[in-house]
Structure 1
Amino acid sequence: MSFEALKSQVDTIIQNNRTTNERLFSICELLEKHLTYYNWVGFYFKNGDKNELKLGPYVGEPTDHTIIPFGKGICGQVAVSNKNFVVPDVAAQDNYIACSITVKAEIVIPIFVNGENVGQIDIDSNTHDPFTSEDERFLEFVCERVSTII
């Protein structure tokens, strides 16, 4: 399915009257189902006033990484930098938190509400270097839409 078609489906999910977590989970399911190289799709959010992220809805293999300190791993670095982070080869990253030996690449895009980084979408891929600038723009779109419901 094209990114344009997926955008329409993301908008439909966002406009649904279900709970925020249900809508976030539906987005995870949508992306994991239709983008074959998206093997783990989830959201992390700032954990209250703490300098850490807490795992939100996700689809994929279970993870022990339900809390990630700011600065640790790819997600923790995005929480500090406020910038997208595309990792074509996780083995080449010094500050990477290994979730599974099958993961080869990762992309993390922050979610901003009123200019504040409140969370992020995290995608793991079992394919080496699969993410393009189109993925990045599409995930920025997803995060912008998610920001309207959190």
Structure 2
Amino acid sequence: MAEDLTIASGNKTTQYETLIPQIAALLQGEPDLIANLANTVAALKEQFGWFWVGFYLVKGDELVLAPFQGPVACTRIKKGRGVCGSSWAQAKTLIVPDVEKFPGHIACSSLSKSEIVIPVIRNGEVVAVLDVDSDTYDSFDTEDEKFLQQIVDLLLF
């Protein structure tokens, strides 16, 4: 596939439904995990313009920063800490409308206002998380969860 995306306008569903097949095509035939994570976050950032989009990989007892798009980020996060560490510990998606109200929130950037974290679960274990931050409050909902989960499911770990 060409490295150019078709950026969709319209409602959120239309944008995701246009983007997901393009991400699938980008990943098809590419075995390198880092390349696939990088293209996935770039496509999401380009389509939605979110403040920060990236992956953290589980390495031992920490999440370690992996490919991302946005300002510099926290490099390591302990299990159970912040939104990402909590999503890992609970093995479930967390949608946070106001990060300042999340107990133990780790402020990698004071500009982040809302967040969604999708755990990547393989063989019953969390191997990574997809972290998306917005610079506006209440940016994410169950529709984002549904479509971001579909994107995470495309990735081979």
Q: Give the TM-score, by structure 1 length.
A: 0.91
Which aligned runs of 4 or more in structure 1 are off by greater than 6 angstroms? none
| CA distances 1:53-79 after superposition (whole Å, capped 9, x unpaired) | 11111110011x111010111111011
Matches of 2:122 and 2:140, distance apart in 1: 25
2:110 corresponds to which residue? 101
**Structure 1 position 16, deviation (Å):** 4.0
* Deviation string, structure 1 residues 77-99 (Cα, Å, up to 9, x no partner): 01110010000001111210001
Amino acid in the other structure paired with 1:143: V
Asked if 2 retains the 8 angstrom alpha-carbon contact of 1:16 and 1:23, the reply is no
User: Which residue identity is paired with 1:89?
Assistant: D
- SS of aligned partner of 1:31: helix
* Between 125-134 and 12-21, the greater mean CA deviation after superposition: 12-21
| Structure 1 unaligned regions, length at least 5 | none
Q: Which residue of 1 aligns with 2:55?
A: 43
Q: Which one of the candidate residues 29, 44, 69 is aligned to 1:59?
A: 69
Between the two proteins, the alignment pairs up a number of residues equal to 144
One-letter amino acid of the structure 2 residue matched with residue 61 of structure 1: P
TM-score by length of structure 2 reads 0.87
- Equivalent position of 2:24 in the other structure: 11
Match of 2:123 in 1: 114
Stretches of structure 2 lacking an aligned partner (at least 5 in a row): 1-7, 9-14
- 2:80 corresponds in structure 1 to 71
Between the aligned partners of 2:153 and 2:65, the Cα distance in structure 1 is 19
For the pair 1:26 / 2:39, whether they are aligned, the reply is yes
The one-letter amino acid of 2:58's match is: K
Q: How far apart are the structure 2 equivalents of 1:13 and 1:62? A: 25
SS of the residue corresponding to residue 95 of structure 2 reads: strand
1:62 is matched by which residue type in structure 2?
A: V
Task: Report the CA distance between 1:44 and its aligned residue.
Answer: 0.7
The CA RMSD measured in Å over matched residues stands at 1.1
